[in-house]
Chain A
Amino acid sequence: MIEYLIFAVFAGLLLHGIHRKAIARIQGRPGPPVWQEILHALKFSFKETWIPATASETLFVAVVLIAIGVWSTALFVLLTDGSLLLLFAVYMLHKIVEHGLGLSSGSPYGKFGAIRSVMSAASEIPLFATIAAVYLVTGSLMISDIQAWQVAHGPLLFTALPAAIALYIVVLAKMHYSPFAVIESKEIVSGNVTEHFGVWRAALDAAFGLKTFVLLYAFILIFLGPMPLLLAAAVMVLLLLSLSFICALTPMLSPFDTVTIQIGVAGLIVVYVLLAGVIP
């Protein structure tokens, strides 16, 4: 079990590295080596670490632990073919983590990052709730049942395309340098992680690596169906590259535009769910 966690952390950090490399190449820069993010996390963990004097000490440390715990839970939900609803819950608990990171430090930058995080939660969460569309199509929210359904009927990607688009936007919103990543945009320094340095930052990097791995893997499991491990890894990288293209070519949106776009898409999905599943 611990081996899965450690593997997922390193795989996730490697995916972050590939993401950075791809963005750099698209923008005509050489970019860092793909293992840069792993080195980055290690580097942070060797830096001198303390807790800022203005911070709420317990909360400041606890949210870092919770971040890792939350995404470890998500990984095990996927590995044990658990409930998609539980994955959704974990995603929302991540919002609490983002918020807590910003609030606990007492820094105004962190606070603004935290506020943006909850503001975008109001629009990202309806998007994720479109897993209800998956329920309407497959009649189950257990990942094992969804897999079985896809073996029988082909990938959900084609049957429930709008739901796939919604989840794709959710994954995109969580990537570094994404047009929706307003919580860490540079006009508020590093947003909610501004005051988390040294070991705290290294641990958060590990948690975010886990998060990227879990979200990409979940997208594959839910919308493309079961596949051998190597193929899954290849598809994950392809999916990541498509995200990298969007991140490389789109500027950071303003917080209001982010919310507007996401709510707009969520509204379309609600119409789709009503037309496809509920009204007939």
Chain B
Amino acid sequence: MKRRFGRTTPLALASAFALGALVSLDVGCGAPPRGVDWNGKRLAVVDMHLHPGDWDHVPEDTRKFLASRFPFPIGLDAEAAAKGSLLPESILGEIDDAGIWGAGLFAIYAPRTVGIASNELVAEDLTFAPDRFFGLASLRVDRWTTDRDAELDRLKSTLSRPGFVGIKVAHAHQHFRMDDPAFFPIYEISASLGKPLYLHTGTSPFPGTSQEPAYTDPAYLETAIQQFSGAKFILGHLGYDFEEKRHAGLDTCIRLAKTYSNVFLEPSALGSASSDPTGANLKEAMRRMREAGITDRILYGSDGPQSPGFVKGYLERTVTAMKETGYTEQEAADVLARNFARVFGVTIPAEAAE
């Protein structure tokens, strides 16, 4: 009996060990844990830059452009592919898959370039996950001389709705100069209501974009940044040149962030596989911002959902870039979620990273 027991014990132990190993494997079943792993500790993540939308409100040239970027044969029915990925349930699925707790959903009114994702659409999408989705409202500026007051009123009204935490504008896509005082009332609303402003900076691959410096170079924002010190300016994409796939406004962005306490930086999209195939540009941006001592001003964003897996992939690329450029756990935690919480006045629950 003793001998038989002696024979079976190693077998039982091996079986138990194998079962344990199997259970510990991530075999893709069930929801992944929240947060990202940073040397054994999980850090909460908020992706502040995601686009819901409606394919019917994308202009024809841009639909063609987007269809051409999908792999064959997905591009043959780009509408079905895009519709699927722009739905709130899809966005929630993408962030869940990436371990991301919260997401900023952008409204946009750019009928000449990327199209329209209305405030109403975003408001509706926010109800899908009211604790985890945060809305950034926008406004039309293409008939500014005639519709300015009505648009500003609409923006104020939207910002008073539950879930809207900030404003999104894109001078290059919406065709208005960054330094034109006629549009400064937008920044005034941001300051008076305490709703931070997200601004696209840099060029854009979308057809119809105003690529001239006054619409893309963050240096043109300096007057407004000075004048509206109560408004928080989040400079999206770090002034990246998406046409040439190189840094163009990074120096300016870092200078503005170091000079003005109301400037924040967001490195979305520039590090994607298509915009930065080697990953060198994202790494350089993360390194230089850290060396400049402004990690408390970086807010993480991806510019997804784009395609299935993009949101997760971009987070992985960003975390890798931070690890390779010497970010501490504290700095990484700030970039991934805590800066967002501080800037937008959002509380991040403990379950965001477990």
Q: Do chains A and B stick together as partners?
A: no
